[in-house]
Structure 1
């Protein structure tokens, strides 16, 4: 295939078209490899710091020519998302949880794919519908490291929290990239501007940030809210009432001060959805869950992690009124992780011994088969036994 070579007038036309489509920031870089990233990516894996959600083939993450035929350029885009709700959720008898801001509105993967598909269509038109022009759009589920592409394309710099920070929108941006065989003049990469600031590192409750733009994803609270097993007890108080994601390292970042943009209607949060009532969430049906939370990026792991997190959030808010509900969950829920977390919750919320509840937990524990779940019951019973009579 003949490689396409284009000039700066096409690049400017694409920039203009991107603004019409609703892309807030666009940049261009070469399709040269990202080989300098490979040692750190390999080290992250060897140290057990990966989340497991990343693309697993390291070479494909750093060599664009392994995933695209004759790559010449990569187009990086950013869309700014809101950081504040203009309305609050209605008053409720129940405590509420919270989704991190990146999960407000419609799933950002859907929004980015729509914008990139529109952009590809416009580029084809601007390039004269040439048959040999090719593209590969990607969001963060793709092979490449999106922050590395965006940084090299001049959209912003990679902060000490590992996120891309733009001048205009801070780090409150969704990123996407398009590999193409069209050659463009690359934009200028931006070096890290964090200086001596370490606020994101200092304020990260589990100390997940390593100080060099990398993190131990296994300790990241956002990762912990997305796992499907029992959450390690260390992290449970740290999530507070957030049932999906974590915004702390962004909220404390000076580059994010005062940043709040509402450019895209489909990103606007429904307050009652992104700060949901926690107790009704505990026995929501699959159909109800998909209808209410299905459009959110935060629903991608299903309802079990969110229900587990909801129990933890209720405990963190000291809602002792939910003890009967947790006992019902232990009695009726078919999933060991949820039963174990509920048992832990009962142990945390009781303020005095209760023989009836103790017997109930002992009987429930006797039916459990998974050692980790049995341990949750054992711990809860030990705590209750030490309470005043």
Structure 2
């Protein structure tokens, strides 16, 4: 298997055999413009409290900055296209909206296992060195995905695929193999602004995201209390947000996933706000075992649930907010009192 073309074909075939849905090859060097944009983003403070973006920024700017021996990045996409409209839950004001990706098994575990299997096979069959990464590593996976032909980075800043819409988990195998890159994908957003228009908090400008306003950031990364104006715009989102992804016209080409690990757990598709608000630490860990939500922990989740309760206009939920207005956690207490004020308004 000495031909680089045959090597690529073999890697692609093995990746598909392991369950990946999209495979592309990119060089291990990114254009300096990506590093410049990253530093501008950080200098503006648009990353909010995500200090990890700053601490490893120099490794993030290019794959060969993270691993100097890397010559090629194999970008792998795993489809998680939902079977139902993720925004339909917003009509059910007493229910919680949980992002599609978090309703099944933690994708980090699923994707990492497959990446390691592909990496082991490459080391054994191709006598190369490899490193594997999911999105917890300092890797600019979206520009790499575009360079590898997987999709393009849309105006909502996420990768859009002509085959899978916006529903791809990404992972990467860095390798010492020097393989020819695939043809980069071009931008197909055109004049469309559907994702910008769909964002409840106005966090998106074309090709830029201000994390400090993004519901995914606010419900997952940000700890403590939130700005009242942002809370009022968050609706019933309690973990993540799919609004900009679902609004993209390319979702009409979405392929429904067939991965059993990503099937939504019944209790996470439309949970009652009152039930989630009642969870203590132990119950929270039990309910969200094996889910990425478990990393958020009880206090931030209950805070998010109280925001949704405040936005619900469901006065029957006042008792829930009242019970949490004396919670041991400060952000829970303050958010419960905000929710009570909202529910008491005519």
Q: Same fold by TM (over 0.5)?
A: yes
Query: Matches of 1:137 and 1:259 in 2, distance apart?
Result: 27
The aligned residue for residue 280 of structure 2 is 285
Find the structure with the greater CA-based Rg. 1
**SS where residue 237 of structure 1 aligns?**
helix
Deviation at 1:300, TM superposition (A): 1.9
Say whether the 8 Å CA contact 2:123–2:130 is kept in structure 1: no
Aligned counterpart for 1:43 among listed residues 40, 44, 58: 40
Q: Are residue 7 (structure 1) and residue 1 (structure 2) matched?
A: no
Give the CA RMSD over aligned residues: 1.9
Query: Matches of 1:275 and 1:300 in 2, distance apart?
Result: 20
Please give the TM-score of this superposition, normalised by the length of structure 2.
0.91
Query: Matches of 2:226 and 2:241 in 1, distance apart?
Result: 15
Deviation readout 1:79-128 (Å, 9 max, x if unpaired): 01032359xxxxxxx9321211121211111111011011112222321x
The aligned residue for residue 173 of structure 1 is 168
The aligned residue for residue 104 of structure 1 is 103
Deviation at 1:240, TM superposition (A): 1.2
The aligned residue for residue 202 of structure 2 is 207
Deviation readout 1:136-160 (Å, 9 max, x if unpaired): 1111111111101111111011111
Unaligned runs of 5+ in 1: 87-93, 352-386
Q: Are residue 343 (structure 1) and residue 341 (structure 2) matched?
A: no
Aligned counterpart for 2:29 among listed residues 28, 32, 51: 32
Deviation at 1:260, TM superposition (A): 4.5
Q: Are residue 70 (structure 1) and residue 69 (structure 2) matched?
A: yes
Q: Are residue 314 (structure 1) and residue 314 (structure 2) matched?
A: no
Equivalent residue pairs, number: 335
Unaligned runs of 5+ in 2: 86-92
**SS where residue 314 of structure 1 aligns?**
helix
Query: Matches of 2:276 and 2:284 in 1, distance apart?
Result: 8
Query: Matches of 1:278 and 1:241 in 2, distance apart?
Result: 9
The equivalences for 1:219-368 within 5 A come to 219-226=213-220, 227-257=222-252, 259-331=254-326, 333-350=327-344
Query: Matches of 2:255 and 2:30 in 1, distance apart?
Result: 34
Say whether the 8 Å CA contact 1:154–1:187 is kept in structure 2: yes
Say whether the 8 Å CA contact 1:55–1:142 is kept in structure 2: no
Query: Matches of 1:257 and 1:250 in 2, distance apart?
Result: 11
Q: Are residue 198 (structure 1) and residue 193 (structure 2) matched?
A: yes
**SS where residue 225 of structure 1 aligns?**
helix
Q: Are residue 140 (structure 1) and residue 140 (structure 2) matched?
A: no
The equivalences for 1:86-105 within 5 A come to 95-105=94-104
Q: Are residue 152 (structure 1) and residue 150 (structure 2) matched?
A: no
Please give the TM-score of this superposition, normalised by the length of structure 1.
0.82
